[in-house]
């Protein structure tokens, strides 16, 4: 069955430090891949997406993600974290048929 | 700006009550979705609709029903609320055409339901 794993329930990073959030998926072919962010009390907002082509994709707010087919991974990165990046981040996979599968989320804490 | 509006941000209901959660989008999207969000479980799809009056079950449809009488409006109904339906409910829409969905979702701010 298709699944999405975000191994880290929460991560704490110092402001200005780099960030990497991990995501692994299980699916036979290459799915559509997404990262969403949810600020407290808000809905989810799309950060970036990968459909095909260049495996390094750029998103909003300075985020990027790299698709690695051999590792079935789609990790999210940011070179320098800002306090406003504190939120919950969800990796998601769409395998077609309207059913997007979400990971359990990684909550990011940013310390001054 | 793209907008998905959920009518109630917070609701408190009693066991056995009928609950309506309303969602409206102003983007002329064909597809609309209801998700349930619980800590540690991510988002789980309850129902979706790819056209007016069309609906399909998601992964956890038990205890829920939906209605889509107009393109812009998608309602989630709990016929008889139970305590295990206490959760955050998120409505979403997507811009793809009929029968096509590329997964990019636009979300409302959520409705937090507490069932006592």
Q: Which of A19-28, A29-38, B51-60, B82-91 has the highest mean pLDDT?
A: B82-91
As a whole number of angstroms, the distance between CA B105 and CA B30 comes to 12
- The average confidence (pLDDT) of chain A is 92
Rounded CA-CA distance A103/A4 in Å is 5
Give the confidence band of B2 by pLDDT, cuts at 50, 70, 90.
low
Q: A43: nearest CA in chain B?
A: B109
Does residue B61 carry a pLDDT above 60?
yes
Interface test with B, best of A5, A8, A44 (most B CBs within 10 A): A44
Confidence (pLDDT) at B56 = 93
Q: How far apart are CA B33 and CA B44, in angstroms?
A: 10
How far apart CA A100 and CA B21 sit, in angstroms, is 21
Handedness of CA A102, A98, A71, A82 (dihedral sign): negative
Q: A40 CB near a chain B CB, below 8 Å? A: no
Shortest alpha-carbon distance between residue B49 and chain A (Å): 9
Q: What percent of chain B has pLDDT over 70?
A: 91
Per cent of chain A over pLDDT 70 is 99
Lowest mean pLDDT among A12-26, A39-53, A73-87, B72-86: A39-53
User: How many Å separate Cα B75 from the centre of its chain?
Assistant: 7
Instruction: Determine the pLDDT at residue A28.
Output: 73
| Region B49-59 average pLDDT | 90
What pLDDT is attached to residue B68? Answer: 95
pLDDT at B69 over 60: yes
Work out the angle at residue B85's Cα, subtended by the Cα atoms of residues B104 and A10, and round it to the nearest 5 degrees.
Answer: 55
- Asked if A46's CB is within 8 angstroms of B105's CB, the reply is yes
Question: What is the biggest distance separating any 2 CA atoms in chain B, rounded to whole angstroms?
Answer: 40
Using the predicted structure, report yes or no on whether residue B95 has a pLDDT greater than 90: no
Task: Count A/B contacts: CB-CB distance under 8 Å.
Answer: 61
Summarised one tens digit per residue, pLDDT across range A61-106 is 999 999 999 999 999 999 999 999 999 999 999 877 778 889 999 9
- Which pLDDT belongs to residue A45? 94
Query: Using H for helix, E for strand and C for coil, what is the string for chain B?
Result: CCCEEECCCEEEECCCCCEEECEEECCCCCEEEEEEEECCCEEEEEEEECCCCCCEECCCCCCCEEEEEECCEEEEEECCCCHHHCEEEEEEEECCCCCCCCCCCEECCCEEEEEC
**pLDDT mean over B34-42:** 92
Nearest-CA residue of chain A relative to B45? A99
A91 φ, ψ to 5°?
-90, 145
């Amino acid at each position: 069955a298709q699944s999405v794993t975000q191994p880290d329930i929460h991560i704490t990073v110092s402001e200005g430090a780099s960030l990497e959030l991990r995501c692994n998926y299980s699916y036979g072919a290459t799915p559509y891949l997404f990262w969403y962010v949810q600020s407290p009390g808000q809905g989810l907002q799309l950060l970036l997406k990968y459909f095909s082509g260049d495996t390094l994709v750029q998103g909003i707010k300075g985020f990027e993600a790299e698709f690695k087919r051999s590792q079935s991974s789609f990790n999210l990165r940011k070179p320098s974290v800002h306090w406003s990046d504190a939120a919950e981040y969800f990796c998601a996979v769409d395998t077609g048929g309207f059913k997007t599968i979400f990971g359990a989320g990684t909550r990011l804490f940013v310390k001054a | 700006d793209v907008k998905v509006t959920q009518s109630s941000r917070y609701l408190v209901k009693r066991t056995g009550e009928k609950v309506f959660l309303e969602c409206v989008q102003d983007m002329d999207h064909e597809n609309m979705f209801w998700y349930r969000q619980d800590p540690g479980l991510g988002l789980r799809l309850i129902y979706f609709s790819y056209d007016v009056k069309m609906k399909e079950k998601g992964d956890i449809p038990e205890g829920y029903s939906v209605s889509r009488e107009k393109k812009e409006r998608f309602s989630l109904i709990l016929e008889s609320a139970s305590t295990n339906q206490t959760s955050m409910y998120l409505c979403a829409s997507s811009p793809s055409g009929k029968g096509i969905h590329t997964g990019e979702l636009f979300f409302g701010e959520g409705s937090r339901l507490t069932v006592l």
